[in-house]
């Protein structure tokens, strides 16, 4: 079910419910496990010492129907993988409080990255993750960090089960040298509306042309529903952001992306938009094979892809630059001061699109400084 197109009457999309819940025995009485059980009273639930049974090696889609509640071992914080070979880096940090996502975008890199462990996971030891962030922020009071939870998971799609945002938002609201980004394709914002972000939280939506959302983003909310949710959180004091990523060259792409920009920014206060990013389709051989094995195919793989310096294939540089420039042109008509960046692109593409290529860390400085 998709949320209503009329954003003035709010009808949230149906919330995700798993087929089964697997809880690590030592975590059974953790606050998170208790919340999940209370929110899913009729769910088929296993409390176990051995979570391998939750990953029996069946299909990726079947794995996405299981919810695992467990302790996270190792570091919660990682550097965004964009800071790899030959790409301009925006010094973004990712914090993983779970992995995988209930939606089913055909281009999703998690099909490759989590191919062997696709169950949706949520981690119980949130306090350990926040302690790690706290140590980092205290060690570098001179820097402002951008930290997001939407790299290996959708930041909000499970919030109706976990209330994770109720721990993250107050934590970041009390800090002065970090911005939290919650990135989503859901409209699961009810908790956010009850919290005060103190200008330290950006809620962002990955967006696309409506034809691509319909063909390639199964289970996600419509563009109108994402914008309606953005308008509501903006009115509640949050900054918002948008990621046109992946841009996909399809029949009518210019009209599609221009219409999406009009739908999005026609309803929002652009002065409270923290950033907008653009990125192109990035593909590895294994991801391409996973996409080809899907039962239905949209326009995703119709363009010719060429290898990049980071080992990922993209559409050829001339077309990428053309698409970035067109979107930039339309975005600057909306607001000439809109903070913009392109994601996972080399300096040469930045120069063609923006006229210059920022040095290391400079992207982050520009974005934070643009809308302090
Ligand atoms: S919303 Fe993001 S994480 Fe979820 S399936 Fe789509 S691309 Fe993957």
pLDDT in tens, 85-144: 678 877 899 999 999 999 999 999 999 999 999 999 999 999 999 999 999 999 999 999
DSSP assignment string, 50-82: -GGGG--S--HHHHTTEEEEEPPPS-SEEE-TT
359 exposed, middle or buried (CB, 10 Å; 0-12, 13-18, 19+)? exposed
Pocket test for ligand 1, best of 99, 105, 183 (most atoms within 8 A of CB): 105
pLDDT value for 230: 98
Class of CATH domain 78-117+127-369:
alpha beta
Average pLDDT over residues 326-345: 95
Backbone φ/ψ region at 237: left (φ over 0), alpha (ψ -120 to 50), beta: left
Average pLDDT over residues 184-196: 98
Give 110 Cα–ligand 1 centroid separation in angstroms.
Answer: 8
Average pLDDT over residues 298-323: 87
| Assigned token pair, 62 | 């079947």
pLDDT-derived band of residue 296, with 50, 70 and 90 as boundaries? Answer: confident
Neighbours of 45 (CB within 10 A): 19
pLDDT value for 1: 36
Tell the residue nearest (CA) to atom 6 of ligand 1.
Answer: 105
Q: How far, in Å, CA of 239 to CA of 341, rounded?
A: 17
Identify the bridge partners of residue 341 per DSSP, sorted by sequence position: 277
pLDDT-derived band of residue 82, with 50, 70 and 90 as boundaries? Answer: low
| 330 three-class SS | helix
pLDDT value for 360: 66
Give 142 Cα–ligand 1 centroid separation in angstroms.
Answer: 34
pLDDT value for 81: 67
| Assigned token pair, 110 | 């998690």
| 270 three-class SS | helix
Atom of ligand 1 lying closest to residue 103 CA = 5
Pocket test for ligand 1, best of 60, 109, 110 (most atoms within 8 A of CB): 110
Kindly give the pairing relationship between strand 201-207 and strand 239-247.
parallel
Give 140 Cα–ligand 1 centroid separation in angstroms.
Answer: 32
- Write down the mean pLDDT value for the chain: 92
Atom of ligand 1 lying closest to residue 109 CA = 8
Average pLDDT over residues 54-65: 92
pLDDT value for 231: 97
Question: What would the pLDDT profile of 318-329 be if each residue is shown by its tens digit?
Answer: 999 999 999 999
pLDDT-derived band of residue 4, with 50, 70 and 90 as boundaries? Answer: very low
Query: Strands across the sheet with 178-184, in order?
Result: 77-79, 92-95, 145-148, 178-184, 201-207, 239-247, 273-280, 340-342
Q: How far, in Å, CA of 342 to CA of 324, rounded?
A: 8
Atom of ligand 1 lying closest to residue 153 CA = 3
Tell the residue nearest (CA) to atom 7 of ligand 1.
Answer: 108
Neighbours of 23 (CB within 10 A): 25
What H or E segment, with its residue span, contains residue 46? strand 44-48
pLDDT-derived band of residue 281, with 50, 70 and 90 as boundaries? Answer: very high
Pocket test for ligand 1, best of 148, 153, 154 (most atoms within 8 A of CB): 154
Give 102 Cα–ligand 1 centroid separation in angstroms.
Answer: 8
Please report where in the chains the tokens 């809620």 appear, as a residue. Answer: 203
pLDDT value for 366: 76
Q: How far, in Å, CA of 278 to CA of 363, rounded?
A: 13
Q: Which of 368, 311, 281 is nearest to 92 (CA)?
A: 368
Q: Indicate the domain borders of the chain.
A: 78-117+127-369
Give 106 Cα–ligand 1 centroid separation in angstroms.
Answer: 9
Share of the chain above pLDDT 90, in %: 80
pLDDT-derived band of residue 225, with 50, 70 and 90 as boundaries? Answer: very high
């Amino acid at each position: 079910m998709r949320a209503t197109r009329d954003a003035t009457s709010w009808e949230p999309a149906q919330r995700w419910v798993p087929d089964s819940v697997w809880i690590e025995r030592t975590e059974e009485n953790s606050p998170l496990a208790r919340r999940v059980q209370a929110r899913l009273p009729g769910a088929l639930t296993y409390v176990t010492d051995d979570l391998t049974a939750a990953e029996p090696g069946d299909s990726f889609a079947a794995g996405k129907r299981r919810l695992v509640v467990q302790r996270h071992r190792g570091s919660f914080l990682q550097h965004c993988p964009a800071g790899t070979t030959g790409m301009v880096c925006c010094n973004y940090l990712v914090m993983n409080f779970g992995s995988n996502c209930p939606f089913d975008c055909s281009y999703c890199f998690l099909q490759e990255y989590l191919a062997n462990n696709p169950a949706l996971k949520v981690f119980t030891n949130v306090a350990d993750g926040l302690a790690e962030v706290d140590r980092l922020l205290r060690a570098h009071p001179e820097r402002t960090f951008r930290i997001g939870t939407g790299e290996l998971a959708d930041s909000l799609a499970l919030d109706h089960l976990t209330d994770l945002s109720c721990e993250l938002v107050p934590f970041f609201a009390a800090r002065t040298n970090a911005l939290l980004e919650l990135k989503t394709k859901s409209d699961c914002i009810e908790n956010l509306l009850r919290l005060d972000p103190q200008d330290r939280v950006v809620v962002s939506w990955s967006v696309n042309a409506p034809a691509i959302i319909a063909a390639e983003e199964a289970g996600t909310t419509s563009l109108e529903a994402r914008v309606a949710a953005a308008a509501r959180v903006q009115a509640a004091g949050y900054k918002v952001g948008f990621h046109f990523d992946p841009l996909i060259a399809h029949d009518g792409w210019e009209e599609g992306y221009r219409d999406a920009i009009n739908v999005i920014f026609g309803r929002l206060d652009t002065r409270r938009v923290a950033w907008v990013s653009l990125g192109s389709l990035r593909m590895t051989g294994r991801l391409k094979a996973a996409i080809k094995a899907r039962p239905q195919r949209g326009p995703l793989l119709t363009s010719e892809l060429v290898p990049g310096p980071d080992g990922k294939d993209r559409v050829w540089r001339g077309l990428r630059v053309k698409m970035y420039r067109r979107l930039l042109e339309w975005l600057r008509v909306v607001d000439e001061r809109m903070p913009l960046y392109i994601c996972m692109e080399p300096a040469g593409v930045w120069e063609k699109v923006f006229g210059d290529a920022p040095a290391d860390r400079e992207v982050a400085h520009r974005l934070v400084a643009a809308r302090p």
